[in-house]
Structure 1
Amino acid sequence: MEYNLADLFESVVDAAADREALVYVDHPGTGAELRLTYAELDAAANRIGHHLLDRGFRPGEHVGLHLYNGVEYLQAALGCLKARLVPVNVNYRYVEDELVYLYRDADLVGLVFDGEFEDRVRAVLPRVPGVRHLLRVGGGEAGVAFADAEGSAERGFPARSADDVFIIYTGGTTGMPKGVMWRQEDLFFSGMGGGAPTGEPVKKPEELAERVAAGGSGITFFPTPPLMHGTSTLTAFIGFNYGQRVVLHRKFVPEEVLRTVAKERVNAISLVGDAMLRPLIDALEGPLRGTDCSSLFSVSSSGAVLSDSVRRRFRELLPNTMLLNNFGSSESGFNGTATDDSGPERGFRVQVNSRTCVVDPATHEPVAPGEVGRVAQRGHVPLGYYNDPAKTAETFFARDGERWVLLGDMATVDADGVVVVLGRGSQCINTGGEKVYPEEVEQALKAHPDVYDALVAGVPDATWGSHVAAVVQLRSGAPALTLDAVQAHCRGSLAGYKVPRQLVIADTIRRSPSGKADYRWAREVAVEADRR
């Protein structure tokens, strides 16, 4: 047995066949739910895997998952892995041209899609002739209905390998999406709990089933972001790898999330940044006040930094629940967790794992304490970007016989090895020769009592090259906010050149469905406001 994700899943199924694996809660208000044991989920995935192989799919070919959250997403992903096909996540927010780019770039030959997206899929397919088979989830007419997909419920698949590929498409905060190619063994150790950052690392593939058989059960995981984003799918697989229970909602609705936490006795929630945690806090302080969250022992965020003000509010409401402000990416998996003293004054301080350090991007050598470099990780890292050798050469390198990935985040490191993440280099604002990282300014802005959310972007400036612009969403009922008031507030924690020189009040801040910042939108809004 190797560290192959399908092999690992099947070994857990054999040790916990009758244990509840997946609970799908269809909200709001319908009361419909679906519960699958490990044996039932295994059989459903087998049917999808055999259905695809019976229609001529070959190992290594790519199948897109263009879906909202649901059991079908995970059944299709597992079915692909069993058949040695590569599941590819598709952002359901993408419009036609973006979908054409992704379908083509990923070389999709099959597509599992939600019936709500049928019109969009039909419009795209004539421009993507490589897609030869469709599976439709829900109503509609295109393709084969997912529920009617015929295939054996037994296993009987060809032998698999730890070298089988898993691809995570990431859009980041700018630019077109990139497909991060992982060997499954590397992804297991970097992003699916095999490295066990809070426990004992897995030493052999058979160990997962041994742990499950020994009684390692009883935890309920609730990945609340869309499964189309890596952090949510990885959370679900962590649950499966250890024989735990996974709860899903179709979409993120804060009130429904809290009701499910109480009903299903959820133990661990994963989410992305303030954009998801803040609405949960608002619900707990408002219509869901008094909800029983006593089962909840951890809430973890990754993909976006939790602000100091939101973390304080959460701890006041749920002081016995651990809040993990994690740092990681589609290219690295888990890197570390922010320290308790992170905040506007000291920055986003991360206690990183032993495989992560800050390096000079030109020499790839570790930087001295206090010097600015880029975060890098060694060991279990991706193979590169699919269909992009140039970007792969820029991002991945070898040193001392190990493979490394160079992340886009700029950082410094102190004498104790704590990494202070400054922000994405691609978003860095050069104003009068000084560098400003938006995340640092956003932290300061969101500490203002009247600010609900904020993004920061650079706007062309004849004097300074660029100036710092703040796009702010106010709290409901908050009074009008002036630039003078924002500047006075920020000067308490930021150097003068980092203080915003422009303020734009927006009705809402645009983010991805998982809560990631849309910096292109913020820059466009700020530039347009500057012209007026």
Structure 2
Amino acid sequence: MTVGTPAPASPSAGLSILTSGTTGPPKRQSIGEAVLERTVFSVTGGLFASPDDPPELSYWPFGGIGVCQLIAGFATGKRIVLLERFSVDDWVRAVRTHRIPRAGVQPAVVRMLLDADVPAGDLASLQFLISASGPLDPATRLEFEQHFGIPIRLAYGATEFAGSVCAWTPEMVERFGDAKRDSVGRPLPDTQVRIVDPDTGDKAPTGQRGVLEARIAALSPDWIRTTDIASIDADGFVTLHGRADGAIIRGGFKILPETVRQVLLTHPGVRDACVVGVPDDRLGQVPFAAVEPARGQPVPESDELREWVRAALPVHHVPVAVAVVDDLPRTPSLKVRLPDVAALYEAVRVNG
């Protein structure tokens, strides 16, 4: 893994971790002791584990923010099953052997488990999964829940917050579960969130989309602006709608990559997709997409996928090209590496 020059740790830093590296080389981020205490609370709710509690499952714990799960385990006496890296076979074996009741997974893992035809009985101990590291395709989520009978709950956290920002409690699930299905839950008790206009900074009306800001006393007395587009409903539930920093400005028209990606995912021949902006001499930026083909389906052509988007969205959303690849380039934490996807565009241009 290539990393930049480590940033000097502050005197109060309790830990130095790497960011995920999805938009460029991973960066060092120092986390102070007070923030680590907040991290433990965000993961555990302040509850200590008992010897009879089932263990948690963790993989790639030392590569970045995942190390905070280990620290929470040390602080509360929680047993943790560690995998050096993710593989379907090892993950399923750990769940089956140790009777894991709940686990956090990346969206890519949900698709991998479905494609691997894992017997439902192997995951019978799971009460639910938590997906919090990126957008999960609604159709994939529904397919997983129907196949395995295991609900997936959405949550929200970020490296800069060293833990969770929004999550579901059992009480929320019981009262609002179905009605707020697409939400990442409500802010944690020590967290305030708001939605603001990205240009003016004015607070957005209830239900309107804007950039999410959070204020957590352990981190800072100030509001911290994220790069996530979100909305908050009248009941205080937060829903994510994509990333503001990935917006593509095509000749003055704004395109959110996640909007195009969701359309591509509805094509029966697409397993997963990523959309990025690439330079254009005339328009500034244009969207380019890379997709993984679905198993057991004819491999779609680039023009077919472009027409699929054209039928669903305004014409400026249509990618200039679509590359079909066996596997999208990913970080060790299974997030898609955006610069590597953009580099595929040059290969498409050269090869026609």
Give the counterpart letter for 1:357 in structure 2: R
Q: Give the match for residue 115 of structure 1.
A: none
Q: Give the match for residue 220 of structure 1.
A: 55
Query: What is the aligned-residue RMSD (CA, Å)?
Result: 3.2
Give the counterpart letter for 1:223 in structure 2: S
Q: Give the match for residue 223 of structure 2.
A: 404
Q: Is residue 331 from structure 1 mapped to residue 160 from structure 2 by the alignment?
A: yes
1:18-66 per-residue CA deviation (whole Å, 9 max, x = no partner) reads xxxxxxxxxxxxxxxxxxxxxxxxxxxxxxxxxxxxxxxxxxxxxxxxx
SS in 1 for 2:222: strand
Change (3 A) 1:164 1:175: closer
Give the counterpart letter for 2:126 in structure 1: L
Give yes or no for contact 2:306–2:321 (8 Å, CA) kept in 1.
Answer: no
Deviation of 1:224 (Å):
2.9
Q: Give the match for residue 7 of structure 2.
A: 105
Change (3 A) 1:375 1:485: same
Give yes or no for contact 1:187–1:380 (8 Å, CA) kept in 2.
Answer: no
Q: Give the match for residue 174 of structure 2.
A: none
Tell me the TM-score normalized by structure 2. 0.83
Match of 1:359 among 190, 196, 199: 196
Give the Cα separation in 2 of the matches to 1:381 and 1:490.
44
SS in 2 for 1:515: coil
Give the Cα separation in 2 of the matches to 1:365 and 1:311.
34
Give yes or no for contact 1:372–1:412 (8 Å, CA) kept in 2.
Answer: yes
Give yes or no for contact 1:382–1:405 (8 Å, CA) kept in 2.
Answer: no
Q: Give the match for residue 515 of structure 1.
A: 334
Q: Is residue 440 from structure 1 mapped to residue 259 from structure 2 by the alignment?
A: yes
Give yes or no for contact 1:510–1:521 (8 Å, CA) kept in 2.
Answer: yes
Deviation of 1:247 (Å):
0.4
Deviation of 1:494 (Å):
3.9
Q: Give the match for residue 126 of structure 2.
A: 296
Deviation of 1:520 (Å):
0.5
User: Which stretches in structure 2 are left out of the alignment for 5+ residues?
Assistant: 169-176
Q: Give the match for residue 115 of structure 2.
A: 282
Match of 1:179 among 11, 28, 42: 28
Tell me the TM-score normalized by structure 1. 0.57
Match of 2:92 among 258, 268, 282: 258
Change (3 A) 1:248 1:492: farther
Give the counterpart letter for 1:166 in structure 2: L
Change (3 A) 1:298 1:331: same
Q: Give the match for residue 368 of structure 1.
A: 205
Give the counterpart letter for 2:22 in structure 1: T
Q: Is residue 229 from structure 1 mapped to residue 36 from structure 2 by the alignment?
A: no
Change (3 A) 1:175 1:245: same
Change (3 A) 1:413 1:489: farther
Match of 1:475 among 279, 294, 313: 294
Q: Give the match for residue 317 of structure 1.
A: 147
Q: Which moved more, 1:424-433 or 1:253-262?
A: 424-433
Deviation of 1:364 (Å):
4.5
Give the counterpart letter for 2:55 in structure 1: T
Give yes or no for contact 2:104–2:131 (8 Å, CA) kept in 1.
Answer: yes
Deviation of 1:421 (Å):
2.8
Give yes or no for contact 2:14–2:36 (8 Å, CA) kept in 1.
Answer: no
Deviation of 1:417 (Å):
4.2
Give the counterpart letter for 1:506 in structure 2: V
SS in 2 for 1:358: strand
SS in 2 for 1:468: strand
Deviation of 1:248 (Å):
1.0
Q: Is residue 244 from structure 1 mapped to residue 78 from structure 2 by the alignment?
A: yes
Give the Cα separation in 1 of the matches to 2:325 and 2:142.
25
Change (3 A) 1:426 1:196: closer
Give the Cα separation in 1 of the matches to 2:288 and 2:28.
31
1:184-227 per-residue CA deviation (whole Å, 9 max, x = no partner) reads 233332x33x1478xxx54xxxxx5xx54xx5741221023443
Q: Is residue 270 from structure 1 mapped to residue 91 from structure 2 by the alignment?
A: no
Change (3 A) 1:350 1:257: closer
Give the Cα separation in 1 of the matches to 2:151 and 2:296.
31
Give the total of aligned pairs. Answer: 339
Deviation of 1:106 (Å):
4.5
Deviation of 1:370 (Å):
5.8
Deviation of 1:323 (Å):
1.2
Q: Which moved more, 1:447-456 or 1:232-241?
A: 232-241
Give yes or no for contact 1:308–1:447 (8 Å, CA) kept in 2.
Answer: no
Give yes or no for contact 1:302–1:328 (8 Å, CA) kept in 2.
Answer: yes
Greater radius of gyration (CA):
1
